[in-house]
């Protein structure tokens, strides 16, 4: 299966600023791919290069097997885009904007359009200038999701949506994925990406610093284990000597430690000798993975270790 999005060594500079500095990004057909990174990391620039709105300086970029700059129009028939900050035509209603975007695409599915308008509880008769941030976002979501396309490029699509609409968004993206569509989802809502995405790419200063399925990424990091044991000091002494075990601390009858995934077997084998009464192990959340990639920046932001 070929990749729907294949970006290798992408470089894009604005004047002296190197927004993308050798970015790699691969999205397979049919997957929901999370695209993570803080503000200014280059997520929007990447998506705008994929849309052919910006021209790449260096590197190979293929989208649905075509060149996003040269084949923009042909590719755009097969994809839809939701920007993170939607600006609507102030004197057009939301409904008019949706239908305009649809006609310029060559037609929307009217049933799906009306269904989405109803589900997102959007009043399509309001003028663009009068919509709140979240409602502008809904207009773009309806226009994109009502289109019959293979690929959805979403750049922080739910900014400004309330938690109910966030839940509905996740439902709608799952439906799209179930229909075989590919989704590239750039987002700051890590729980959303964790719920939807099979694979993620984390970027930093214009480069991908981690990429893979959530399980693969979790394998690269440590599981936090808290064990209630009868002989806590003994357990501490034994576990601290194992390879791949870090930060072993004791608190009354609990041992707390971070374990690399390949050391879990050894830890589980060692524990019964000290009388296990309770055991909690939680794999790293996407938030942990993300923050690990940015641990040095957190230090400069003076966020204390315990809050990470």
Cα-Cα-Cα-Cα torsion 72, 76, 81, 85, nearest 10 degrees, comes to 50
CA atoms within 13 A on the CB side of 139: 29
Kindly state the tokens that stand for 189.
Answer: 């809502």
147 vs 232 by CB, closer to other proteins: 147
Q: How far apart are CB 306 and other proteins at their closest, in Å?
A: 30
Handedness of CA 37, 134, 111, 71 (dihedral sign): negative
Residues β-bridged to residue 155: 186
Q: How many residues are listed for the chain in this entry? A: 308
Q: How far apart are CB 87 and other proteins at their closest, in Å?
A: 5
For the chain, where are the E strands, in sequence order? 3-14, 17-28, 32-36, 58-63, 79-82, 151-155, 182-186, 199-204, 207-213, 222-229, 245-251, 254-260, 276-282
Choices 32-40, 123-131, 165-173, 194-202 (CB under 8 A): range interacting with other proteins? 123-131
Q: How far apart are CB 21 and other proteins at their closest, in Å?
A: 17
Helices and strands, counts by H and E, the chain: 12, 13
Pair 298, 291: CB distance under 8 Å? yes
Q: How far apart are CB 79 and other proteins at their closest, in Å?
A: 8
Choices 51-59, 167-175, 185-193, 208-216 (CB under 8 A): range interacting with other proteins? 51-59
Using the structure block, give the residue that is written with the tokens 């990429």: 211
Site string for other proteins, 148-167 (x = CB under 8 A): -----x--------------
One residue of 121, 129, 179, 191 binding other proteins per CB under 8 A: 129
**Reduced to 3 states, what is the DSSP secondary structure of residue 190?**
helix
84 vs 284 by CB, closer to other proteins: 84
User: Does residue 135 touch other proteins according to CB under 8 A?
Assistant: no
Number of residues that bind other proteins (CB under 8 A): 41
Choices 77-85, 162-170, 235-243, 254-262 (CB under 8 A): range interacting with other proteins? 77-85
One residue of 16, 39, 125, 300 binding other proteins per CB under 8 A: 125
Kindly state the tokens that stand for 206.
Answer: 């214009």
Footprint of other proteins on residues 82-111 (CB under 8 A)?
83, 85-89, 91-93, 95-101, 103-106
Query: How do beta strands 151-155 and 79-82 pair?
Result: parallel
69 vs 211 by CB, closer to other proteins: 69
Q: Which residues of this chain interact with other proteins, rule CB under 8 A?
A: 48, 51-55, 72-74, 76-77, 80-81, 83, 85-89, 91-93, 95-101, 103-106, 124-127, 129-130, 140, 153
């Amino acid at each position: 299966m070929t990749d729907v999005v294949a970006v290798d060594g992408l470089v894009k500079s604005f004047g002296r600023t190197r927004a993308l500095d050798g970015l790699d990004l691969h999205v397979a057909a049919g997957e929901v791919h999370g695209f993570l990174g803080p503000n200014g990391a280059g997520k929007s620039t990447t998506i705008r290069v994929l849309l052919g709105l910006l021209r790449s300086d260096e590197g190979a970029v293929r989208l649905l097997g075509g060149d996003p700059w040269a084949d923009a129009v042909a590719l755009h028939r097969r994809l839809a885009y939701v920007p993170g900050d939607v600006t609507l035509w102030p004197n057009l209603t939301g409904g008019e904007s949706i239908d305009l975007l649809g006609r310029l695409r060559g037609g929307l599915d009217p049933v799906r359009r009306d269904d989405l308008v109803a589900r997102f509880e959007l009043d399509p008769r309001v003028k663009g200038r009068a919509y709140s941030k979240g409602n502008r976002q809904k207009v773009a979501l309806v226009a994109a999701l009502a289109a019959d396309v293979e690929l959805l490029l979403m750049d922080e699509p739910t900014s400004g949506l309330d938690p109910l609409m966030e839940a509905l968004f996740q439902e709608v993206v799952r439906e799209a994925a179930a229909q075989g569509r590919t989704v590239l989802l750039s987002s700051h809502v890590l729980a959303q990406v964790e719920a939807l995405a099979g694979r993620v790419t984390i970027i930093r200063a214009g480069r991908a610093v981690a990429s893979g399925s959530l399980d693969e990424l979790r394998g690269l990091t440590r599981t936090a284990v808290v064990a209630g044991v009868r002989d806590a000091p003994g357990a501490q002494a034994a576990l601290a000597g194992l390879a791949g075990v870090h930060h072993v601390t004791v608190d009354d009858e609990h041992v707390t430690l971070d374990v690399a995934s390949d050391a879990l077997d050894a830890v589980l084998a060692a524990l019964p000798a000290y009388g296990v009464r309770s055991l909690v192990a939680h794999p790293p959340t996407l938030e942990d993975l993300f923050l690990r990639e940015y641990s040095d920046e957190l230090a400069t932001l003076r966020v204390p270790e315990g809050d990470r």
